A and B are shown apart, each in its own frame.
Chain A
Amino acid sequence: MSQKNSSENVMNIKTGLAEMLKGGVIMDVVTAEQAKIAENAGAVAVMALERVPSDIRKAGGVARMSPPELIEEIMSVSSIPVMAKCRIGHFAEAQILEAIGVDYIDESEVLTPADEEYHINKHNFKIPFVCGAKNLGEALRRIGEGAALMRTKGEPGTGNIVEAVRHMRRINAEIRNIVNMDEAELMGAAKDIGAPFELLKVVRAEGKLPVPNFAAGGIATPADAAICMQLGAETVFVGSGIFKSDNPDKFAKAIVKATAHFNDPAIVLEASKELGGVAMRGTEISEIEESMKMANRGW
């Protein structure tokens, strides 16, 4: 079943779609109406969910894949790609999402993991996968399993950017370290960080991950989007930040604007003045119980 390109000379078609999403904002939506607001604001894709991460935190219990009818309804009103989440390791949920025909599957720590030992063998699917990572070893393990796109884990549903920044910086620093290594040191690094050796060779040669890297987890303002993009994220996922703000439409538009011109403080300033309300209330990471930290799910 694994999807091979007809040519080794062409980027994998799964990563190809991620290339199309670069420089944009992917927004979590829980209704068809929100999906239209997101698309109209200029989102490059939407993540169809039953609840945004901050509500998943509040609700507690087991968080599963969203109901198929909800995902289908959101797909029916969207002209942009639609993503949906399955639980870590839950390949049967992923099979359902593939049967629905979503454009991307997020094997996500936001949901309650279904398997604490193994992630999904993503090579078995025709639909591309995005996965979260806190560091380079984790990113390369997921890519080794077939992820076509990576994102930082951050700490979802908090409106607190600190973890996404930490993950972005850590991966950047680890890549710089690998690039500077003598080739003979590479196998030792592969052992230390638990990364596939062949993928580390690619990182050393190219100075970047073998697939695009987006930022996610705690992005709540235009400035949050801009810091992630300046740290090297190629697109941002905004979860609770938009529809938990005072004015989702204006918030969504402002974050899109700031992301497109993340290097121009004058435009990020303009976007910051166009919010029409206050950002979602943030949560201090140390106030979250260890067992409720989503970034610790998966390995």
Chain B
Amino acid sequence: MNNKLHIGVLALQGAVQPHKAHIEAAGAGFCAVKTLSDFKKIDAFILPGGESTTMLKLIDRFDLWDILAEQFKKKPVWGICAGAILMAKEVLNPTQKSFGLLPVTIERNAYGRQLESHIATIKGYDVSFIRAPIITNTNNVSIVAEHKGNPVWVEQGQYMATTFHPELTFNTPSPMHQHFINKVKNFKIS
């Protein structure tokens, strides 16, 4: 009997591989997923950092929108930076399509361009903010952490989003990966 959890990182584009060490250190299995047959094998999704515009185009071009929307109803999802943008209810700068999994408004590149990218300590763990978005408005989500006066780590039900990158930190597993994998465990039980 194998009840190891399998966490799928959507691998259309972006920072996929850096999750492997964190997921494995938290006792789960890492899979890079691109197609429906991949999605069927996993217990939860990570929508990784990258370029949200590119990911949206690829999701459309490979006809994955409805497939992913259906998958997301059944599984926990954690969006990071670009992934958080895909999960938001409303996206600004520019406005764009999103899955609306979390009732938040998110503004792209809201700290500025690469010159404003920075490292900060969130819950005692150093993480990277890279051309990061800002969550400007939330409705009924639990705010796990704030930074410079804005929520940067939020969750509601089976969904979670961070505007920063814990996967680029070398100490594994990050508390965010650990938290998400615990969430997946609890979701499987309930």
Contacts from A to B (Cβ < 8 Å): 5-7, 9-11, 13, 16-17, 19-24, 39-45, 75, 79-81, 98, 101-104, 126-128, 253, 256-257, 260-261
Asked if B105 is an interface residue, CB under 8 A from chain A, the answer is no
Contact partner, B82, options A20, A45, A127, Cβ 8 Å: A20
Tell me whether B34 and A261 are in contact (CB under 8 A). Answer: yes
Contact between chains at B49 and A19 (CB < 8 Å): yes
A75 / chain B contacts, CB cutoff of 8 Å = 113
What 1/0 flags go to B23-67 for Cβ under 8 Å of A? 000000000001000000000000001110110011001100000
Assess A19 versus B54: contact at CB under 8 Å? Given A11-B128, A24-B13, A128-B114.
no
Q: Are A22 and B15 in contact (CB under 8 A)?
A: yes
Residues on A with C-beta less than 8 A from B121 are 6
New A-B contacts (7) at CB < 8 Å, excluding given A19-B14, A24-B14: A13-B118, A13-B128, A19-B49, A20-B49, A24-B51, A79-B93, A103-B114
CB distance from B177 to the nearest CB of A (A): 15
Contact A11 B61 (CB under 8 A): no
Q: List 19 A-B contacts (CB under 8 A).
A: A6-B119, A10-B128, A11-B170, A13-B117, A13-B130, A21-B50, A22-B13, A22-B17, A23-B12, A24-B13, A44-B13, A79-B93, A102-B113, A103-B114, A128-B114, A256-B58, A257-B58, A260-B13, A260-B34
CB-based contact A17/B53 at 8 Å: no
Given contacts A7-B126, A11-B170, A16-B130, contact A80 B114 (CB under 8 A): no
Q: Which range holds the interface residue count of chain B?
A: 35 or more
CA distance A102 to B119 in the complex (A): 19
- Chain B residues near A261 (CB-CB < 8 A): 34
Scoring A6, A22, A45, A75 by chain B CB atoms within 10 A of each residue's CB, the highest score goes to A22
A17 to B12, CA, bound (A): 17
- Nearest CB on B from A186, distance (A): 23
The answer to whether B15 and A42 have CB atoms under 8 Å apart is no
With A13-B128, A101-B115 as known contacts, state yes or no: A79 contacts B109, CB within 8 Å: yes
Contact B168 A11 (CB under 8 A): yes
Give the interface of B toward A (CB within 8 A). 11-18, 34, 49-51, 53-54, 57-58, 61-62, 81-82, 93-94, 108-109, 112-115, 117-119, 121, 126-128, 130-131, 165, 168-171
Contact call A81/B13, Cβ cutoff below 8 A:
no
**Number of contacts between A and B (CB, 8 Å)?**
125
**Which of chain A's residues have a CB closer than 8 A to the CB of B15?**
19-20, 22
In the complex, what residues of B have CB within 8 A of residue A11's CB?
18, 128, 168-170
Given contacts A17-B114, A104-B114, whether A80 and B54 have CB atoms under 8 Å apart is yes
Note all chain B residues with C-beta closer than 8 A to A42: 53-54, 57-58, 61
Residues of A contacting B170 in the complex (Cβ-Cβ under 8 angstroms)? 9-11
Q: Which residues of A contact B18 (CB under 8 A)?
A: 11, 19
Contacts of B94 in A (CB 8 A): 79
Which of A11, A20, A104 has the largest number of chain B CB atoms within 10 A? A20
CB contacts (< 8 Å) of B128 on chain A: these are 10-11, 13, 16
Distance between Cα atoms of A257 and B126 in the complex (Å): 35
A13 contact set on B, CB distance < 8 A: 117-119, 128, 130
* A6-B61 CB under 8 A given contacts A79-B53, A261-B34: no
| Residues in B whose Cβ lies below 8 Å from that of A5 | 119
Tell me which residues across on chain B come within 8 A of A39, comparing CB atoms: 53
Tell me, rounded to whole Å, the shortest Cβ–Cβ distance linking B75 to chain A: 22
The answer to whether B14 touches A22, judged by C-beta atoms less than 8 angstroms apart, is yes
Nearest CB in chain A to that of B18: its residue = A19
Q: Which of B14, B121, B128 has the most CB of A within 10 A?
A: B128
The residue in A17, A23, A75 that gathers the most chain B C-beta atoms within 10 A of its C-beta is A23
Most A CB contacts (10 A, CB to CB) among B14, B51, B82, B109 go to B51
From B34, B51, B115, B118, A127 is in contact (CB under 8 Å) with: B115
How distant is the Cα of A215 from the Cα of B52 in the complex, in angstroms? 22
Q: How far in angstroms is the closest Cβ of chain A from B108? A: 6
Closest Cβ neighbor of B109 among chain A residues: A79
Complex: A39 Cα to B55 Cα, angstroms: 11
Q: Please indicate the chain A residues that have their CB under 8 angstroms from the CB of B54 in the complex.
A: 24, 42-44, 80, 256
Shortest distance from the beta carbon of B1 to any chain A beta carbon, whole Å: 32
A44-B51 in contact (CB<8A): yes
Most-contacted residue by chain A among B114, B118, B119, B169 (CB, 10 A): B114
The reply to whether B113 and A101 form a contact with Cβ atoms under 8 Å apart is: yes
